[in-house]
Chains A and B, each alone.
Chain A
Amino acid sequence: MTWLIEPLQYAFFLRALLVGALLGATCGALGCFVVLRGMAFIGDAMAHSVLPGVVIAYLLGVNIIAGAFVTGLLAAILISAISHTEQVREDTAIGIVFTGAFALAIVLISRTQGYVRDLTHFLFGNILGVAPGDVIIAAIVTLVVLSCMFLWYRELLVSSFDRTHAQVIGLHLNWLHMGLMALLALTIVSGIQAVGVVLIASLLVTPAATARLLTDRLTVMILLAALLGSGATLIGLYTSYYVQVASGGAVVLTSTLVFLLALIFAPHKGILARRVHQTLPS
């Protein structure tokens, strides 16, 4: 068991584990609603839209996280506004806004010398390089996101399952949607440090999709997704430590592998179980 303990003597690894566990749990839990509401593409788009905020904040010398949060939300509002014109579909609006935002970031970066190296951190993450302050930020984000999910659980549940009923009983769907977007932006902003803009969507979507294969209860799904998210992050980090590969990539690959295993072997919804069920006479 010494191989488990050995890397813990390094403060940077301990910090990475803490941030990874918190982030994995938050993304996993929030990701359940992202998956159930068919917002996977929005999650990815928002992650990319965060980048110009990072660059602008860097250029202006203000807090990078605040900058990222603001552009993430702006992108969400812009997507909403464009699809509300009813001239283009929502997925088209998403495609336009996030590539536009990403392009803005690239243009800004090309005018900024010496920033390219720092930037790869935001693109692909560097969880082994997190500062002590990042641990605190991750803890606060986790607390805020999970509390909001707990306090607005009924609203999220009803509106995700049956929009019409939610509307009829007087839930404010637009406010709920924007609230969810804000939580998403918050989670993404704290997560890009770890796995980067390109891979964060995986933390949101994959553990939730895996959990969905294993249960038919939403509360169980949320707990499972949080556990799977944390677990994949920890396994990925150890892998990255011992095999010397990029941490963000290792985390996401672990998560993807677990999903594939569940897709094949899950007790009721797995491909094998369904095949057995079909061949058995009912």
Chain B
Amino acid sequence: MSNLEHPEVAVIVDDVIVRYPGTHETALEAANIRIGRGQRAALIGPNGAGKSTLLKAMVGLLPLTRGRIQVLGEPAHVGRYRVAYVPQSREVDWHFPITVFDVALMGRDAHLRWPRWPRAHDKALAMTALEEVGMAPLAKRHIADLSGGQRQRVFIARALAQQAEVLLLDEPFGGVDTATEQLIFQLVDQLCRAGGTVIIATHDLATLPEHFDQAVILQHRVVASGSPDQVLAAAVLAEAYGGPLALLHERAQHDLVN
């Protein structure tokens, strides 16, 4: 099944197993996930449930032990400007000598060929992206001068400057103020209305009904997936009984397909 047959599907996860590098420990065993184009999808689960692993696999950062992941009709691999990824705990050096604008401009490096010198067009796109997240007035500031929320906005701006069709955000709301959270949801809505697909790893169930079209609960495997309502019902049941989620998952998949 390829995206050519399913142009409405942005991401296909089939029978995937990902192991932690150098171990036999399974980080993720995802049976079947389909994420439609233009959808706002949530990956829900506690810490260490495999959310980040799945996002990393989608962007080609982690090799699959088994199965396949297709993003926009191609097997997941690095080096694709059509897929943007904003990782979680940012392992960047905040004391690096770099301005807010230069960080946003890095989104354009995905498109540029060696020696990757940015053109006026790229700079304009980076600036527009900063305007969209309200960070244009701080463009010339050093990245270390920013608050947690402002830094997250700048990294979202970098992803926007990349003009990707699929945007993967790993826990974007951690350590972020309410205004920034609202802004991120607003941008996500905007992107999806324009035909983009956004997948967000989060553990906040409360945001599901309002902000997402689709949700997947992960606990090293897909526990439930479907519409936010279905998934929430499954989550409630899981809490109550701690068991019959696999059944619900089948059910939810069935409902989603129809």
Contacts and interface: CB of A to CB of B under 8 A. Distances in A.
Interface stretch (A13-21, A154-162, A177-185, A255-263): A154-162
Contact of A154 (B87, B91, B117): B117
Interface in B182-238: none
B93 A168 contact: no
Interface in B58-100: 59-61, 78-81, 83, 85, 87, 90-93, 96-99
A158 B106 contact: yes
Contact of A161 (B80, B96, B115, B142): B96
Contact of A217 (B59, B81, B99): B99
A167 B109 CA distance: 11
Contacts of B80: 170
B112 A216 contact: no
B78 A154 contact: no
A216 B91 contact: no
A36 B93 contact: yes
A153 B106 contact: no
Contact of B116 (A155, A161, A218): A155
B137 interface: no
Interface in A188-233: 212, 215-218, 221
Contacts of A157: 98, 102, 106
A165 interface: yes
Contacts of B59: 168
B169 to A, nearest CB: 13
Contact of B115 (A152, A164, A217): A152
B28 to A, nearest CB: 18
B110 interface: yes
Q: Which of A151, A160, A165, A221 has the most CB of B within 10 A?
A: A165
Contact of A163 (B91, B97, B118): B91
A274 to B, nearest CB: 14
A280 interface: no
**A-side interface mostly:** helix
B242 interface: no
B97 A154 contact: no
Contacts of B115: 151-154
Contacts of B79: 168-170
Given A153-B115, A154-B112, A164 B97 contact: no
Nearest to B84: A168
Interface in A253-282: none
Nearest to B21: A86
Contacts of B117: 154
Interface in A131-166: 151-155, 157-158, 160-165
A160 B78 contact: no
Given A161-B92, A170-B78, 15 more contacts: A36-B96, A152-B115, A154-B112, A158-B109, A161-B106, A164-B61, A164-B91, A165-B106, A168-B60, A170-B79, A215-B97, A216-B97, A216-B144, A217-B99, A221-B97
Q: Return the 5 tightest CB-CB contacts between A and B, nearest first.
A: A170-B79, A154-B116, A169-B110, A216-B142, A162-B92
29 contacts: A36-B96, A36-B97, A153-B115, A154-B109, A154-B112, A154-B115, A154-B116, A154-B118, A155-B114, A158-B106, A158-B109, A160-B93, A161-B96, A162-B91, A164-B85, A165-B85, A165-B106, A165-B158, A167-B78, A168-B59, A168-B61, A168-B83, A169-B78, A216-B144, A217-B97, A217-B99, A218-B96, A218-B98, A221-B97
Interface of B: 22, 59-61, 78-81, 83, 85, 87, 90-93, 96-99, 102-103, 106, 109-110, 112, 114-118, 142, 144, 158
